[in-house]
Amino acid sequence: MSTRLYPLYRRGNPQRRVFLPNFFMKIVKSKVDIPKNMVKFEVPLQMTQFDVKNYLEKIYKIPVAHVKTEVILGEIKPQRWKGYLVKNDDYRIATVTLHEGSFFEFPKMFKEDAMGEALDEYEEETEKLKELERKYKRVDPLRKDVPDFFGI
């Protein structure tokens, strides 16, 4: 595709420019404690430190002090019940240091006890339903004292 291709040589040898960058960057939660002004990003393998810095500064307007990237080997494990190994894809982690005074802490995005809340809700709803049933139950005056098992 011509819009994604960059010619090997262009007259004057100008600085390379990207007009529609297709790199992604996602913030990931660090498994170990890191300083407050550090953020961990998962980025494509092709991305360099300079790319990360430019990306954050130009697109998101985040002032960046320092960037370090490393390639993490994908997990290798045996396939269950089969005689071969499978490997996850490699990925690159960029650790970005922000300037002094700024902080970042990965926010809580999901309910603490989603299943428990849903269960409570379910119990509440069933109780309400039972109440409603009791409230609005219509009784046939002709079979008032007849037991349930009698008739259809």
- Between CA 12 and CA 49 the distance in angstroms is 26
Any contact of residue 109 with other proteins (CB under 8 A)?
Answer: yes
Q: Which of 44, 102, 116, 146 binds other proteins (CB under 8 A)?
A: 102
Q: Which of 33, 79, 23, 80 is nearest to 54 (CA)?
A: 23
**Beta carbons of 74 and 91 less than 8 angstroms apart:** yes
CB atoms under 10 Å from CB of 150, counted, come to 7
x/- contact string, 70-99, with other proteins (CB under 8 A)?
Answer: ----------------------------x-
- Between CA 67 and CA 43 the distance in angstroms is 12
x/- contact string, 21-60, with other proteins (CB under 8 A)?
Answer: xx-xxxxxx---------x--x-------------x--xx
Q: Which of 10, 12, 17, 20 binds other proteins (CB under 8 A)?
A: 20
Q: Whole-number minimum distance, CB 9 to other proteins, in Å?
A: 8
Token digits for 68? 């370090």
Helix/strand/coil for 2: coil
**Beta carbons of 19 and 35 less than 8 angstroms apart:** no
Residues that bind other proteins (CB under 8 A): 1-3, 5, 7-8, 19-22, 24-29, 39, 42, 56, 59-63, 98, 101-111, 114-115, 118-119, 121-122, 125-126, 128-129, 132-133, 135-136
